[in-house]
Amino acid sequence: MSRFWSPIVEKLVPYTPGEQPGQRTVIKLNTNENPYGPSPLALQAIQAATGEGLRLYPDPVASELRDAIAGSFSLDVDHIHAGNGSDEVLAQAFNAFFTGKDAVVFPDITYSFYRTYCELYSIQAEKIPLDSAFRCDPKNYRGPCGGVVIANPNAPTGIAMPLEGIVQILQQNPDVVVIVDEAYVDFGAESAASLVPDFENLLVVQTFSKSRSLAGLRVGFAIGQPHLIEALQRVKDSFNSYPLGRLSLAGAVAAWMDREWFDRTRHLVMADREKTVTALEEQGFDVLPSSANFLFASHEKVSAEKLLRDLRARGILVRHFARERIGNHLRISIGTSEECAALLAATASIIRE
């Protein structure tokens, strides 16, 4: 606290990122990174982009990247906006579309950045409780509001909403923007991108951080009709015209084009996810049905806090949220097959004690 802070900064409760330990020996299952690494073609492209060219500013409108993404969705480039990670794209969208008059609605248990952006931009927020099985019922997203934000699959539950649910929410809220945050969609959920031509109020947000294993590059994007995309570009150009550097642009384009690496690695993650669910359930865990690259689980006998502590003592990091309703759950990212096996051996031994 300082007398120079604005009242907004004074009240901010910033998002708490997962730990990034310096030492390399830990098994890191706490921030939903993808264990298989970026496409080798992306790494080559990034290397090729280092050099004298860095003297020059990058393309402010990221044309090549937006073109590549648009092509995959059979859309024109004016339907795509790119940013420095999808967190930035989400922040720009809150700034562009949520006026602060009516409350923006999102589930009580979801990505906590939504609440933080509301605070940052002085937007009213209203949390709509998930049901007792942590499912999101589209029926509850009806009636006047300032906007809707749905993570699909949701985080940290991993539960996906079928596309009909998203359609229902869009239809029930024709006068406000509905943001669908698809950070984990490539691990088994259905993207709402196909709905963009039909819904002028839909903004789909995706990232290169999870399924393309480029969390360190910071690239995210939004898909929406041109009138929404133009608003995001206006916000971008009122803050930072060059959010994506030359290395990010080069790497992201190459990663996007390398469909083969993308498909192979995400299917490895999904296969290990299913095996890990079965094994955890055999150990007495209750595991929510996940369509993401992480599991959300609680144990019938051992508390999440003890598991967190004892796993850490064994060099395995997982994520715990000390929040209402989910204080006894752990969020466990899917690592390599070996890392999943190490996790299961560790949980088995902790439970046996």
| Residues of this chain that bind ligand PLP (CB under 6 A) | 85-87, 111, 151, 155, 181, 183, 207, 209, 215, 220
For residue 332, report the phi and psi dihedrals to the nearest 5 degrees.
-120, 115
Nearest residue to ligand PLP, scored by beta-carbon proximity: 85
Q: Give whichever of 85 and 107 is closer to ligand PLP, judged by the CB atom.
A: 85
Looking at the DSSP bridge assignments, the partners of residue 126 are 105
Cβ at position 110, least distance to ligand PLP in Å: 8
Cβ at position 144, least distance to ligand PLP in Å: 26
For the chain, helix (H) and strand (E) counts, in that order, are 11, 13
Cβ at position 209, least distance to ligand PLP in Å: 3
Spatial contact of 300 and 284, defined as CB atoms under 8 Å apart = yes
Closest CA relative to residue 165, chosen from 333, 280, 291: 291
Q: If DSSP codes are grouped into helix, strand and coil, which group holds residue 7?
A: helix
Q: Give whichever of 84 and 347 is closer to ligand PLP, judged by the CB atom.
A: 84
Spatial contact of 304 and 320, defined as CB atoms under 8 Å apart = yes
13: left (phi over 0), alpha (psi -120 to 50) or beta: beta
Q: Give whichever of 229 and 279 is closer to ligand PLP, judged by the CB atom.
A: 229
Cβ at position 54, least distance to ligand PLP in Å: 23
Cβ at position 314, least distance to ligand PLP in Å: 25
126 to 15, 95, 98, 149, 326: CA distances (angstroms): 18, 17, 13, 11, 19
Q: Give whichever of 181 and 302 is closer to ligand PLP, judged by the CB atom.
A: 181
Cβ at position 128, least distance to ligand PLP in Å: 17
**220-224: strand order across its sheet:** 80-83, 220-224, 202-207, 178-181, 147-151, 104-107, 125-128
Q: Give whichever of 185 and 346 is closer to ligand PLP, judged by the CB atom.
A: 185
d(CA 53, CA 73): 31
Q: Give whichever of 86 and 191 is closer to ligand PLP, judged by the CB atom.
A: 86
Q: Give whichever of 113 and 285 is closer to ligand PLP, judged by the CB atom.
A: 113
Cβ at position 301, least distance to ligand PLP in Å: 29
